[in-house]
A and B are shown apart, each in its own frame.
Chain A
Amino acid sequence: MADITAAAPRRRARRLNLRLWLPLLWLGAVALAAIFAPLVAPQDPLMQDLMLERLPPAFMDGSEPGYWLGTDSLGRDVLSRMIHGARIALFVSLVAATATCLFGAALGLVAGYFGGWWDRVISRLVDIWMAFPPVLFAVLLVAVIGTGLTSVIAAIALIDWTRFARVIRAETMVQARMDYVDSARIGGARRLTTLISEILPNVLPSIIALLMLEMGIAVIVEAILSFVNLSISSDDPTWGSMIAEGRNAIHFAWWVLLFPLIALFLTVLSFSTLGEGLKQRFDPVLQ
């Protein structure tokens, strides 16, 4: 009866997972900076001072104390603007990605599990939607409903829900063929119960990975819309508008462009790496 001995479940000694912790470290720092921006930022991000224009970062000659990453062509502190820019970037990525995820994943789950008429309608809608060029779509949308944070978020959700719908539909179809779905029927579960309590937990790792990816994409889209001045007003600091301004002065004040660009790059990279890391971390089978 070796079959039924209660041996302790195998638990592999957990190595420190860098794919999980490095992105969390960076995103945690950005989040803290964003939340406590007025306390953390060394200067007022909007204060212009033409006497202090284009100061180099602290490690270069000619820098001023208190302006760690230098100033832009209007004498505004780059670090402070980046910290305040993180607020907008994170807010947009959080709200837009969550909205996109809820809408797209719900449609994907319904199409993948209920099939038939539901699937036909949702899949055709996805096909039609994806035939529009996304950037043009976003620009058009912002032009119609006006600039501002709300329209940026709406634009992201309206464009990218198809990504969730497609991937989650396919994943759901695979899961729906598993015997545990038939088992739930045999056990008297209703269709919707089966979808939510049996299939959803198995699709959740993919949803989380996609959600993280989408947060990264949302940061980029917001930066692009800021870059072309279709996000919030250009006075307000966003990473995209900083990059746009820094572009003009790249030959003599490269720091204005480079630092926000690095922040953007690290944030987007962190989101997508974190997505994969979380997917592995929360899969009991892969562990």
Chain B
Amino acid sequence: MTAQTQTRTTASEAVAPAPSLFSVRDLRLSFPDLARKPLLGAAPRNEVLKGLSFDIPAGQITGIVGESGSGKSTAGRVLVRLLEPDSGSVLYEGRDIGHLDESALRPLRRDLQMIFQDPMSSLNPRHKVWRIIAQPMKRYGLGGTRADAIAALGKVGLPAAFAERYPHELSGGQRQRVGIARAIALKPRFILADEIVSGLDVSSQAQVLLLLKQLAREMGLTIAFISHDLSVIRHLCDRVIVLNRGEIVEQGSVDAVFRAPASDVTRTLLTAIPLPELDPDWLS
């Protein structure tokens, strides 16, 4: 109950200018459309992000929601700089990281971690779990021994025996926990969680979300949580950004957006949430 009130307070604070970890202005990104490339000359470009402006407040969980193809994953990948924007600014703590090259990004990467949608693909099938977790730690001088990896596994509720397993020997939920362990082992400030529960069954989903929420609170993490599922966003996030076709149609605190959705897109997404209670007349 106390936790509940606490979350509510942070959410209402967000309306007032809270310190932003990320401040994004007029972010634009396009990819070449090779299917329509003429025989000679450059391919026409597909605009994926059409001028996004949003803030990610420090210490909060911001949901980014939208249908597939709305550009939510692309926007997230710009934040952790797996993609470089065409134009616009991506301020991380006041510094524009939008066009830094790979060597300038490397020191920043420790703070900007990511958990991927498909852990089967994001965990190297040839490496044992402990090595997957320990390698980035070693790069940033945070240890990187088997024991360090086992400690990180403990934080996500996996026993030490898992350190010697290969990813394909784990279940979907266990794999996603390893993905979380890898990210938090670096003690980052920000984690991008890209559709991290969409491949899991409902009970593993709930466990993974609970774990993420608890870790975020313990470590004071800022999280951008990408999902197409508003019920998950409602459960987890403080703020929400709704994307449609590369544009922001609505943003604000989760409470405000769910109470009075301002755009049709949000209303459509809301109607897609399964109802929590049964219709009392259902049987008669």
Q: Which A residues lie at the B interface, using CB under 8 A?
A: 1, 3-4, 6, 9-10, 178-180, 182-191, 197-198, 201-202, 284-285
Residues of B within 8 A of A3 (CB): 171, 173-174, 203-204, 207
Contact with A along B73-104 (1 / 0, CB 8 A): 00000001010000000000000000000100
B247 at the interface (CB under 8 A from A): no
Residue among A184, A185, A188 with most chain B CB within 10 A? A188
Number of A-B contacts defined by CB within 8 Å: 86
Q: Report the separation of the CA atoms of residues A284 and B165 in the bound assembly, to the nearest whole angstrom.
A: 11
Contact with A along B131-162 (1 / 0, CB 8 A): 00001100110000000000000000111011
B114 at the interface (CB under 8 A from A): yes
Name A3's closest neighbour in chain B (CB-CB): B173
How many chain B residues have a CB neighbour from A under 8 Å?
A: 41
A6 and B159 within 8 A (CB): yes
Q: Which B residues lie at the A interface, using CB under 8 A?
A: 80, 82, 102, 106, 109-110, 112-114, 116-118, 121-127, 135-136, 139-140, 157-159, 161-162, 165-166, 168-169, 171, 173-174, 177, 182, 186, 203-204, 207
B168 and A6 within 8 A (CB): no
Q: 10 nearest interchain CB pairs?
A: A187-B136, A179-B122, A201-B126, A179-B121, A6-B161, A180-B124, A9-B169, A3-B173, A188-B109, A188-B139
Name A9's closest neighbour in chain B (CB-CB): B169
Known: A179-B121, A188-B109, A191-B102. Contact between A10 and B157, CB under 8 A?
Answer: no
- 17 of the cross-chain contacts (CB-CB < 8 Å) are A4-B158, A4-B177, A6-B161, A179-B117, A179-B122, A182-B82, A182-B114, A183-B114, A183-B123, A183-B182, A187-B109, A189-B139, A190-B106, A197-B135, A284-B125, A284-B166, A284-B168
Q: Report the separation of the CA atoms of residues A183 and B203 in the bound assembly, to the nearest whole angstrom.
A: 26
Residues of B within 8 A of A185 (CB): 82, 102, 109
A188 and B110 within 8 A (CB): yes
Residues of A within 8 A of B110 (CB): 188
In angstroms, how far is the closest chain A Cβ from the Cβ of B226?
14
Residues of A within 8 A of B122 (CB): 178-180, 182-183
Known: A3-B171, A178-B121, A185-B82. Contact between A202 and B182, CB under 8 A?
Answer: no
Residues of B within 8 A of A284 (CB): 125-126, 166, 168
Residues of B within 8 A of A9 (CB): 165-166, 169
Residues of B within 8 A of A189 (CB): 135-136, 139
A4 and B166 within 8 A (CB): no
In angstroms, how far is the closest chain B Cβ from the Cβ of A83?
40
Residues of B within 8 A of A188 (CB): 106, 109-110, 136, 139-140
